[in-house]
Amino acid sequence: MLALDRRGMLAGSFELHDLEPGTPREIGPFRLDAFSLPHHVPNAGLRLSAGGRVVAYTGDTGPSADLVTLAADADLLVAEATYPEQVPDEDAQYLSSALDAGRTAAAARSYPGDLAVATAGRTIEV
């Protein structure tokens, strides 16, 4: 992360911890579960829960049975989708479509509200 910005600008702003899929981490009132997901480079999906609420996040990822576990009964699933409906064959194991994300949400019983595309400044009450 520090390599992405000017030297020292973010130093002291956060503390780095290794994410270990299958090993929950407590951060203040939150429980963080990490899932190793398929992508061109190492990739983690995150499930953050507190106060009976759950937010699941996938980022770029290809198909994985772990996606349904990650998103199971989440109040909100934030899922990156590179393509609207179909991923080209050469990227199919590493990327998802919006259709794939919708199917994952349905299988996981995630977020029964309206579907929306993320935009700058959008907020969703969880």
25 located within any domain: yes
52 located within any domain: yes
- Provide the residue range defining the domain that includes 39: 20-108
48 located within any domain: yes
2 located within any domain: no
> What pTM was computed for the model?
0.81
What is the C-alpha separation between 79 and 75, in angstroms, rounded?
13
| Amino acid symbol at 81 | A
pLDDT score of 1: 53
> Which pLDDT tens digits describe the chain residue by residue (126 residues)?
555 666 667 777 777 778 889 999 999 999 999 999 999 998 999 999 999 999 999 988 998 999 999 999 999 999 999 899 999 999 999 999 999 999 999 999 986 767 788 888 988 888
Question: Residue 50's domain is classified under what CATH number?
Answer: 3.60.15.10
29 located within any domain: yes
| Amino acid symbol at 3 | A
3 located within any domain: no
What is each CA distance from 53 to 21, 49, 69, 90, 96, in whole angstroms? Answer: 20, 6, 15, 37, 25
In the chain, the number of structural domains is 1
76 located within any domain: yes
What is the C-alpha separation between 1 and 9, in angstroms, rounded?
11
Q: What token pair was written down for 123?
A: 């907020």
pLDDT score of 13: 76
What is each CA distance from 110 to 39, 83, 95, 101, 119, in whole angstroms? Answer: 22, 21, 20, 11, 20
119 located within any domain: no
